[in-house]
Structure 1
Amino acid sequence: MSRVSILSSAFVALSAFLLAVPPQAPAAIPAVAEQSDDGALFAAMREADLRLASIAWRLATANAALCRDVAPTPGLIVHAIDQYDPGVRKQLPALFGFEGPVAVEAVVPGSAAAKAGVEADDTIEAVDGKPLTVSPAGANQASTATRDSAQRQIAAEPADHPLRLTLLRHGQRREVTIPAQPGCRSRFEMMMGPGLSASADGDIVQIGSRFFERFDDRMIAVVVAHEFSHNILHHRDRLDAAGVKRGLLSEFGRNGRLFRQTETEADLLGVILMRNAGYDPHDAVRFWREHGGEVDGGLFRSRTHPSSSARADAVAAEIAAIPADAPTPYRPALLDRAAAPLQ
């Protein structure tokens, strides 16, 4: 279920401060959107993006003390007008603000950005007084380069310092200072498509849009926490360092064993991340028992992954092993091996 275990669809290069963003190349959007007077498609996309961003923000900020790599996590979803197909861009200022190239798609309720007064449809002009860069790549085709640059600029700010944004709304410019809100560094995105696909590559987490149609946020949190754990545990880099083979050889011998090891580790850390963020970790047990076959292919699953019943059993045992008086956040011993070579 992860890119490290090669069962993914191809997180567009995105927000290093835990944001969900629209799909990289929404080629199907123009024709549909032009038939929709009320922008229902875009509204549904924004709603799903916000659901993912809210889950990711909650997991990232609650577990910041556990992570070596942290970044500003203000609770913003940033998008750029040139990441959309040119044929649909004329509609976007009315739907998303866009008084400039980069805007706030949505704001996570309760986040530092929300408390500072940042609102959906605010245009972002500068970060800490430095103007955002517009890439020429999006002039004639959909490109994420402008958005990615804005996200990197925000992510480069110190995680333990306030974040200062210059915003524009209805022609009125204002400076907003967002209190520091560190979170575990990763980037999150909803991925359009019909399958129940999810992936992580060390930097980015992608969650398929089908999850948002099929499951409630508690179940989606199980999937997000699992993929997020791959990044926190640096599984991609550690698998590469171990010289594992991908493709047809990934399921056999040492390759398959190490892939299964990383999947189990992500399952176990995932329930800790959930517990620390106030989710019920037992939801992970229910997810794997009741829905695991839908996600991993059941009898036809890749042997780079344990069976869903084995995953449910391992997760249940991990939950039972958490001390009754464990603090929040609880730091599992598994994190002590996050930099160790895979054996």
Structure 2
Amino acid sequence: MRTIVAALALGMAGSMASAAADGSDPPEPLETFQRSEDRLFRVGYRLATANAAFCDQTVRVSGLLIHDAGSYSDPAAVRRQFGLLGDIGVQAVAPLSPADAAGIRQNDTILAIAGRTIEAEWPLTNPRWQRVTALRDIIDDALSRGTLDLSLSRAETPALAASITGVPACPTRFELVDSKSSAAADGERVLVGENFPGLAYDEASFAAAIAHEMAHNILGHPQTFAEIGWKRKLVRLSERDADRLMPWLLHNAGYDPAAAVRFMRTWGPKHGGWIFRKRTHDGWDERVEFIEAELAKIAEAAQSHPAGLADWQTGFVPELEIPHEAN
């Protein structure tokens, strides 16, 4: 069950300060959560689709993120807050995505998928979160086979239809997690806590944090350590490789790759008592040096690519060698 807390630790502070300055009311907790999840989803979509050409495997994505009012502690309040005409709403739409091109908007209500109505085919589950997970899997399956057909509504237009053909992306989902302040990768997802300090950073620096976690998935680190266990020396190398791949992913998504350096210089001194002093990680100043060493390689790779992309499949060399027992 999803529970919304009163405010984001850092992201809300800026919003409330702005509201006080212009005399407007601060955003509701539901709106704050939606804004953060929207930001994460937009950045993740941009990174995943822009680097698809270099991922070993890809999936088809639409640029559409849904949520389920029924999974919140007060479904009726969620429906009222976002003007939903049913439980399944559009939480985010990535700019320039197929969903965006189809005219889908944030806070539209999804009434049916492939002609199957939500109300009849997918009743509320227990636990409640299982329904939206199942619907996301159904959407992914439809995109993998061709076209996703949706029936939607919004207040001024009660009957809408959209037909979406997906685009390739690296196979990682991006999810905001209640009441957490960390960011992590589990092999299939990048999980960002709603209290993660990076949500308050500029977009390129925030994208750097997301690219770091996405790099773990691309390089197969979670799967590797699930098989062989968390060996300190290897974990340290995996973190270094994720740092080094981070600016490559940023460049291909149209972000300044040097934003990875800015992120580390902002994050490291403030959070140095946390992961940056663990023996599983290099010091934050060392991490900056490793990242900076990649910038010239990225520029060189981009010059030789017809589209100006940086081919990390050929230009990036991981330091972590997967032990034989992981194969």
> Scaled by the length of structure 1, what TM-score is found?
0.77
Q: Find the counterpart in structure 2 of residue 239 from structure 1.
A: 225
Mean CA deviation greater in 75-84 or 322-331: 322-331
Mean CA deviation greater in 198-207 or 232-241: 232-241
Residue 125 of structure 2 corresponds to residue 136 of structure 1:
yes
Residue 99 of structure 2 corresponds to residue 113 of structure 1:
yes
Specify every segment of 5 or more residues in structure 2 that has no aligned partner in the other structure, as ranges.
Answer: 7-24
Q: Find the counterpart in structure 2 of residue 153 from structure 1.
A: 138
SS in 2 for 1:176: strand
**Residues 279-302 of structure 1 deviation map (CA, whole Å, 9 limit, x = unaligned):** 011111122233223345369732
SS in 1 for 2:126: helix
Residue 57 of structure 2 corresponds to residue 91 of structure 1:
no
Which of 303, 310, 319 is the aligned partner of 1:330? Answer: 310
Mean CA deviation greater in 291-300 or 172-181: 291-300
Q: Find the counterpart in structure 1 of residue 286 from structure 2.
A: 310
Separation in 2 of the partners of 1:299 and 1:101?
Answer: 39
Which of 49, 71, 76 is the aligned partner of 2:64? Answer: 76
Separation in 1 of the partners of 2:320 and 2:237?
Answer: 15
Evaluate the alpha carbon distance shift between residue 294 and residue 217 of structure 1 in structure 2; reply closer, same or farther with a 3 A threshold.
Answer: same
SS in 2 for 1:164: strand
Q: Find the counterpart in structure 2 of residue 67 from structure 1.
A: 55
User: How many aligned positions are there?
Assistant: 297
Residue 205 of structure 2 corresponds to residue 191 of structure 1:
no
The letter of the residue matching 1:321 is K
> How big is the alpha-carbon RMSD for the aligned residues of Structure 1 and Structure 2?
2.9
Q: Find the counterpart in structure 2 of residue 202 from structure 1.
A: 187
1:91: how far off? 1.7
The letter of the residue matching 1:312 is V
Which of 23, 30, 44 is the aligned partner of 1:56? Answer: 44
Residue 212 of structure 2 corresponds to residue 226 of structure 1:
yes
1:38: how far off? 8.7
Identity over aligned pairs, percent: 31
Separation in 2 of the partners of 1:127 and 1:49?
Answer: 23
Q: Find the counterpart in structure 2 of residue 273 from structure 1.
A: 249
Specify every segment of 5 or more residues in structure 1 that has no aligned partner in the other structure, as ranges.
Answer: 1-23, 30-36, 246-254
Q: Find the counterpart in structure 2 of residue 215 from structure 1.
A: 201
Contact 2:206–2:263, Cα closer than 8 Å, also in 1: no
1:42: how far off? 1.6
Contact 1:160–1:181, Cα closer than 8 Å, also in 2: no
The letter of the residue matching 1:330 is A
Q: Find the counterpart in structure 2 of residue 173 from structure 1.
A: 159
SS in 1 for 2:31: helix
Q: Which structure has more RCO (C-alpha within 8 Å, separation ≥ 6)?
A: 1
**Residues 122-144 of structure 1 deviation map (CA, whole Å, 9 limit, x = unaligned):** 22233333444234315xxxx31
Evaluate the alpha carbon distance shift between residue 284 and residue 335 of structure 1 in structure 2; reply closer, same or farther with a 3 A threshold.
Answer: closer
Separation in 1 of the partners of 2:183 and 2:254?
Answer: 22
**Residues 231-255 of structure 1 deviation map (CA, whole Å, 9 limit, x = unaligned):** 11111111223x224xxxxxxxxx1
Separation in 2 of the partners of 1:107 and 1:325?
Answer: 32
Contact 2:99–2:164, Cα closer than 8 Å, also in 1: yes
